[in-house]
């Protein structure tokens, strides 16, 4: 079966996010003072061929841990669909 994974990777909340801070600061210039504490991360989609959802889940988790996410600075979550 082929599964699609939607992966979100974000910097840990206790780390500085220079991109997010720059965007947050610019919100006021656009008249959007109500928007604060912007955090910027990555969204990755991929497909995985696996016998079942459990195996697909394990493969995506392994890809995140070994390649896609720097776990020292980032956290990740993902959703699988068939």
Closest to 38 (Cα-Cα) out of 29, 25, 56: 25
Q: How far apart are CA 30 and CA 19, in angstroms?
A: 17
Average pLDDT over residues 3-13: 97
Cα–Cα dist 60/73, whole Å: 19
Q: Which CATH number belongs to the domain containing residue 23 in this structure?
A: 3.30.1280.10
pTM of the model: 0.88
Q: How far apart are CA 43 and CA 59, in angstroms?
A: 17
pLDDT band at 2, cuts 50/70/90?
very high
**What confidence tens digit (pLDDT) does each residue in 17-40 have?**
999 999 999 999 999 999 999 999
Domain span holding position 76: 2-81
pLDDT digits (tens, 9 = 90+) for 68-79: 999 999 999 999
Q: How confident is the model at residue 50 (pLDDT cuts 50, 70, 90)?
A: very high
Give the total number of structural domains in the chain.
1
What is the β-pairing status of strands 2-11 and 42-49?
Answer: antiparallel
């Amino acid at each position: 079966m082929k599964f699609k994974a939607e992966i979100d990777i974000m910097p840990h909340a206790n780390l500085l996010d220079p991109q997010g801070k720059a965007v947050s600061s610019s919100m006021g210039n656009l008249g959007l003072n109500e928007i604060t504490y912007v955090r910027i991360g990555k969204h990755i989609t991929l497909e995985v061929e696996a016998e079942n959802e459990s195996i697909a889940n394990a493969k995506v988790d392994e890809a995140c841990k070994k390649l896609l996410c720097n776990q020292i600075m980032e956290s990740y979550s993902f959703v699988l669909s068939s």
